[in-house]
């Protein structure tokens, strides 16, 4: 079949069963957009900024487990997209991003809207390509999708010069992948697995430390079964919320900087840590020399470079988590006696009773934690929860009752403000049957506010809940704790009228100052099936607690803040 480069892009996406592309056109990618116009295999959603196109594709990928796809043009189109690439890369999210480039003959001449896109994307993608010949395009696109979703997933960037999108070439989409150099390991080494089971058998105080890999590997059911079978208490990272399900009696909660007391104490007092797909982020470990210092460590990860990167590992297992845990289950059935860990479970339960996650509710002023809990009570598993970055993000992770994987979408690694709204759009497109909530802050929401237009235009009914404290709250909290209350550039009390703002985009807005108003607004928003924004006026000076100050130790948490 003779096709132009642009037609090849369309056909490749069709072969990959892509149902939606998020993007923004421009000069260098116009040939591709001309073919987008002519086809009806997939829906194209025009965002209002390239960064948002990538976050929407990212949200789509996280909610669905499929590869998210985005198109952007060369130059500024691409540079706007970089934050989206980096966000997805840090959280191992599968995406294919296709950018236009100036024609090959003009590369290197500082042409209009030219930038060295592959040079810029290299450190923030899993892999990238500059397509120099249309005959390579089918293979490159096939590889791009394969690389994005296989192994440790990640974004792949394909930069296509304008003349290549016009060139004609033979199109035969490869049916299988033959890559000489890239072969991820899926199956764990049986000897290592056996040793790991023996280590669990020998342990008295084991803890499951579950990371985002459990989501990427779709291993939630296996991890739950393994935990139950062995009776081992579990902690989740920010990225792993939903893996165990919050109703699960073995789940202590989130660990780390804003983790709960029992989770952090479990890590500190464990004699064996069973790490299922986390990456020992500094927000989790705190001071490394004190991190889980009594514990031997089993680390299961599909990325060998993740193992031993931060802390030495006693039992490394390279492989796909689902696969490895499946192999561990029959051995555990034979060899592990869950009653052995009862004293340990009881101890942790006591820790949780002594210092549960808490906040002081008020009838005078809305507390942000209350708003999150309330949404959890009213919507529970009916909602997918997206967030931006900051205090609201931590409160959402702490107080929303998650019950299944892919219910929670948040920029964990890069911490990208402005992620929430476009990611919510992507999630709602992926799973239209769910209510999609974007918990956001009055700082974050303005970083991609233009996407209200995308949502309204496409009738993607996401509900934005601004926990409005008129501060850049998390930075303000650090200034309170560590900078002697010098609130440098964090006061956001000069702000738009968010109700009028969303109304001007064609959505519905609510301003809320009481619990009754909140319930009413949420109910109306969810039932309205339109794009909504609830501006919740919350206590300005509420802090996220507990807190392990950066570089502090997990067993030495700040449980409350005293002036």
Binding site residues, other proteins, CB under 8 A: 118-119, 122-123, 126-127, 130, 132, 147, 179-182, 303-305, 308-309, 312
Task: Specify the length of the chain in residues.
Answer: 563
C-beta of 33 vs 145, nearer to other proteins: 145
Report the chain's C-alpha Rg in angstroms.
Answer: 24
Q: Which is nearer to other proteins, 281 or 542 (CB)?
A: 281
Q: How far apart are CA 154 and CA 448, in angstroms?
A: 23
Question: For every residue of 385-404, which 3-state class applies, written as one string?
Answer: EEECCCHHHHHHHHHCCCCC
Q: How far is the CB of 123 from other proteins (least distance, A)?
A: 5
Judged by DSSP in three states, 452 sits in: helix
Do the Cβ atoms of 20 and 67 come closer than 8 Å? no
Contact, 299 vs 307, CB < 8 A? yes
Q: How far is the CB of 119 from other proteins (least distance, A)?
A: 7
Asked if 51 and 23 count as a contact pair (C-beta separation under 8 A), the reply is no
Distances from the Cα of 150 to the Cα of 178, 187, 325, 467, angstroms:
13, 13, 18, 37
Nearer to other proteins, 146 or 439 (CB): 146
Judged by CB, which is closer to other proteins: 119, or 506?
Answer: 119
Triad 316, 320, 321: Cα angle to 5°? 75
Phi, psi of 168 (to 5 degrees): -95, 145
- Select 180 or 339, whichever has its Cβ closest to other proteins: 180
Shortest distance (Å) from residue 101 CB to other proteins:
13
Contact 45, 11 (CB under 8 A): no
CB contact set of 93 (below 8 Å; sequence gap of 6+): 58, 61, 62, 68, 87, 153, 154, 155
Residue in the structure block whose two tokens are 């999150």 = 372
Residue 427 host element (H or E): helix 420-430
CB nearer other proteins, residue 107 or residue 166? 107
Question: Is the Cβ–Cβ distance between 97 and 57 less than 8 Å?
Answer: yes
Looking at residue 67, the DSSP 8-state letter turns out to be P
Tokens of 472: 């850049």
Using DSSP, state whether 535 is helix, strand or coil: strand
Beta bridge partners of 538: 366
Q: Give the Cα separation of 287 and 137 in Å (integer).
A: 47
d(CA 144, CA 157): 8
| Helices and strands per DSSP (H, E), number in the chain | 21, 20
In angstroms, the CA 59 to CA 80 distance is: 17
Min dist. Cβ of residue 291 to other proteins (A): 15
* HEC assignment per residue over 125-165: CCEEEECCCHHHHHHHHHHHHHHHHCCCCCEEEEEEEHHHH
Rounded to a whole number of angstroms, the minimum distance from the CB of residue 127 to other proteins is 4
SS3 98: strand
What is the nearest approach in angstroms of other proteins to the Cβ of residue 181? 5
* Residue number, 182 or 483, with CB nearest to other proteins: 182
CB-wise, 272 or 307, nearer to other proteins? 307
- In whole angstroms, the minimum distance from the beta carbon of 307 to other proteins comes to 8
Looking at the annotation, which residues are catalytic? 50, 112-113, 162, 474
Q: Measured from the CB of residue 182, what is the shortest distance to other proteins in angstroms?
A: 5
Nearer to other proteins (CB atom), residue 1 or residue 179: 179
The tokens for 45 are 């959603």
Minimum distance from residue 281 beta carbon to other proteins (Å): 16
């Amino acid at each position: 079949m003779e096709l132009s480069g642009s037609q090849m892009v369309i056909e490749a996406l069709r072969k990959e069963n892509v149902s939606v592309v998020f993007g923004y056109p421009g000069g260098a990618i116009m040939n591709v957009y001309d073919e987008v116009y002519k086809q009806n295999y997939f829906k194209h959603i025009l965002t209002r900024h390239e960064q948002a196109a990538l976050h929407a594709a990212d949200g789509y990928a996280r909610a669905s487990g499929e590869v998210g796809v985005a198109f952007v043009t060369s130059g500024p189109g691409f540079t706007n997209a970089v934050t989206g690439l980096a966000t997805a890369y840090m959280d191992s999210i599968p995406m294919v991003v296709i950018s236009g480039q100036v024609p090959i003959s003009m590369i290197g001449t500082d042409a209009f809207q030219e930038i060295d896109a592959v040079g810029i994307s290299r450190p923030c993608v899993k892999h990238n390509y500059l397509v120099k010949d249309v005959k390579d395009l089918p293979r490159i696109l096939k590889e791009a999708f394969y690389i994005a979703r296989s192994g440790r997933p990640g974004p792949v960037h394909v930069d296509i010069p304008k003349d290549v999108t016009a060139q004609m070439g033979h199109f035969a989409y490869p049916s299988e992948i033959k890559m000489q150099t890239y072969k991820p390991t899926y199956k764990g080494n049986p000897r290592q697995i056996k040793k790991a089971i023996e280590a669990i058998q020998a342990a008295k105080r084991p803890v499951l430390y579950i990371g985002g890999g459990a989501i990427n590997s779709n291993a939630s059911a296996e991890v739950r079964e393994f935990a139950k079978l062995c009776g081992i208490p579990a902690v989740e990272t920010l990225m792993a919320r939903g893996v165990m399900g919050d109703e699960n009696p073995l789940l202590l909660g989130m660990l780390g900087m804003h983790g709960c007391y029992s989770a952090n104490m479990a890590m500190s007092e464990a004699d064996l840590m069973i790490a299922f797909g986390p990456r020992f982020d500094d927000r989790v470990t705190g001071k490394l020399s004190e991190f889980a210092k009594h514990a031997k460590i089993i680390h299961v990860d599909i990325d060998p470079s993740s193992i031993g990167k931060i802390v030495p590992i006693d039992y490394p297992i390279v492989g796909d988590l689902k696969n490895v845990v499946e192999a561990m289950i029959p051995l555990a059935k034979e060899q592990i006696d869950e009653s052995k860990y009862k004293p340990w479970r009881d101890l942790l339960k006591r820790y949780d009773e002594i210092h549960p996650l808490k906040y002081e509710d008020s009838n005078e002023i809305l507390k942000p934690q209350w708003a999150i809990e309330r949404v959890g009570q009213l919507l529970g598993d009916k909602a997918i929860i997206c967030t931006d970055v900051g205090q609201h993000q931590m409160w959402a992770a702490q107080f929303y009752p998650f019950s299944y994987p892919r219910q929670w979408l948040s920029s964990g690694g890069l911490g990208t403000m402005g992620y929430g709204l476009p990611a919510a759009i992507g999630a709602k497109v992926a799973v239209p049957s769910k209510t999609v909530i974007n918990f956001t802050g009055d700082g974050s929401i303005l970083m991609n506010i233009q996407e209200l237009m995308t949502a309204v235009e496409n009738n993607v009914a996401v509900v934005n809940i601004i926990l409005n404290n008129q501060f850049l709250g998390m930075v303000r909290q650090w200034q309170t704790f560590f900078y002697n209350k010098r609130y440098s550039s964090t006061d956001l009390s000069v702000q738009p009228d968010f109700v009028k703002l969303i109304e001007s985009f064609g959505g519905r807005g609510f301003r809320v100052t009481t619990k009754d108003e909140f319930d009413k607004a949420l109910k109306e928003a969810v039932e309205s099936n339109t794009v909504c924004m609830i501006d919740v006026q919350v206590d300005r000076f509420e802090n996220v607690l507990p807190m392990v100050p950066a570089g502090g130790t997990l067993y030495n948490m700040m449980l409350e803040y005293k002036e």
